[in-house]
Chains A and B, each alone.
Chain A
């Protein structure tokens, strides 16, 4: 047969393959949230690598979500982020996130194992295993840091509340009660578990976990 048909067939194949390639990779980028633009600061499970490394190493497999005994780790999607005013940015969709006011990290107290369960479940080292001893948790867990908004907090506004202080797993170390139950955060001991934010009776919360560096 003539050369033209063969050439047409050849280009047809290249075209089909190219179309599949571009289509699939395009859908992949879109599903990952490429269109959503900038990355948003979101609280990661304990032991997480810095955000850029974390997004590279995490394979979005949901294993830490399954492992969490307190349901505090959720997949970061438009739906789960909605009530916290967050939407996943570039490459952040389906990554594990903690929204402390929904459910906070209990540092696997009462759960089996010697290692924080989400860090033990991670197959790619995006969450670095952390032993479940007090020293190890204080040293290695840095989910974030609790920040008190004195304009909202009851104890700073004439009342005496102290709910967050009672909720803190390192009471008197990370979170101390000052005069009239005013919460005082010690940055050295606060691991950012978010139990204080979960417990806060104010809405919006007067004490919140914020990321260390953004």
Chain B
């Protein structure tokens, strides 16, 4: 994470890598519920019937792609009475390695849970079960080492808010001038504290309802499941009826950020970002200014998505190591 030369305008290699990881994370988050349905169909011995029924539609293509992938893995197929068939037990066991989403999920059997989810469960339930500790290992180690790297590399809503930020340049083309109100930065830490306090008092994880990655996880599940439910009932094709008020809220945040305050959620409000910042406060890997190579062009200042001041090396713990 060394500083890049300010004169280079072409996308940096790190940026290409970051976008790739972000898109991959988004795709995985949307695929996991489809894997769940795929496993359901195999369990019910209905996969071949549904593959034929859904053929040509989005659901059919997704199922067929998953089927090809799982069959292509070692031991994915087996021979029975001269016919090559799906190795049902192996595939079913493998599909169990996937579940959840960026809030708490499992990829290829590795369980990972957002520290905020863990904090809320601990505070609300007043217990620390062993399974939770196990699923915290990867996120906590990653954050201790790299800081708020979840926000800029994995969080699907961070990615979508980042894309929403491009609306501002679109507004510039239309000669509109979006506002950019700055909120106090300590709001996120206050919200983290208040949210955990409320979770403790009410014994319900309040922040899980407003934390964008958690909302995204549930919305992705609702959307995918609604589509498959409708397909099972016979109305094939993509359907957006499964979207709920969550989408409206997330879209509202995006518009608010575009029109009123740039990257409002990630900069000033996000309680998860606050927790990641706190955990990664003493990280060894961080964006640093190389004084004698800086030409004080200040290009880095407007570019920073977190609204920090890289030119004066004032990153602190809020930096999410995006490397823009």
Contacts and interface: CB of A to CB of B under 8 A. Distances in A.
Interface of A: 13-14, 16-17, 20-21, 24-25, 27-29, 31-32, 52-53, 55-63, 65-71, 75, 77, 79, 90-91, 93-94, 110-113, 117, 120-126, 129
A57 B92 contact: no
Contacts of B33: 62, 66
Task: Report, nearest first, the 5 A-B pairs whose CB atoms are least far apart.
Answer: A125-B129, A66-B99, A31-B209, A91-B204, A61-B104
Given A53-B125, A123-B135, A111 B43 contact: yes
A133 to B, nearest CB: 18
A65 B35 CA distance: 12
Given A20-B269, A57-B125, A75-B222, A62 B207 contact: no
B99 A63 contact: yes
A13 B184 contact: yes
A24 to B, nearest CB: 5
B191 A25 contact: yes
Contacts of A62: 33, 99-101, 217-218, 221
B279 interface: no
A117 B106 CA distance: 13
Contact of A61 (B89, B207, B217, B269): B217
B99 A121 contact: yes
Contacts of A53: 125
Contacts of B245: 31
Contacts of B204: 32, 55-56, 90-91
Nearest to B126: A56
Given A66-B100, A124-B132, A75 B113 contact: no
A120 to B, nearest CB: 8
Contact of B191 (A20, A93, A110): A20
A61 B92 contact: no
A123 to B, nearest CB: 5
A70 B203 CA distance: 30
Interface centre among A56, A61, A90, A112 (most CB of B within 10 A): A61
Contacts of A79: 244
Interface in B84-99: 89, 92-93, 96, 98-99
Nearest to B33: A66
B21 to A, nearest CB: 21
Contact of A65 (B89, B186, B209, B221): B221
Interface centre among A24, A27, A68, A77 (most CB of B within 10 A): A24
B106 A124 contact: no
Contacts of B113: 59, 61, 123-124
B170 interface: no
A141 to B, nearest CB: 19
Nearest to A24: B210
Contacts of B244: 77, 79
B93 A122 contact: no
30 contacts: A13-B183, A17-B186, A25-B191, A56-B124, A56-B204, A57-B129, A60-B208, A60-B209, A61-B101, A61-B103, A61-B214, A63-B99, A63-B106, A65-B221, A68-B40, A69-B43, A70-B40, A70-B44, A77-B222, A91-B202, A111-B43, A111-B92, A112-B93, A112-B96, A117-B96, A123-B111, A123-B131, A124-B131, A125-B127, A125-B130
A92 B16 CA distance: 41
Given A62-B100, A110-B43, A123-B135, A17 B92 contact: no
Given A66-B221, A111-B92, 19 more contacts: A16-B181, A17-B184, A17-B190, A27-B249, A29-B209, A31-B245, A56-B203, A57-B129, A59-B120, A61-B100, A61-B101, A61-B113, A61-B214, A65-B36, A66-B33, A71-B37, A71-B40, A117-B96, A123-B132
A113 B93 contact: yes
A63 B124 CA distance: 19
A114 to B, nearest CB: 11
Contacts of B157: none
Contacts of A117: 96
B39 interface: yes
A16 to B, nearest CB: 5
A105 to B, nearest CB: 13
A70 B118 contact: no
A102 to B, nearest CB: 11
Contacts of B89: 112
Contacts of B60: none
Given A17-B186, A66-B33, A29 B206 contact: yes
Contacts of B269: 20, 24
A40 to B, nearest CB: 15
B268 interface: yes
A56 B89 CA distance: 35
Contact of A66 (B36, B130, B135): B36
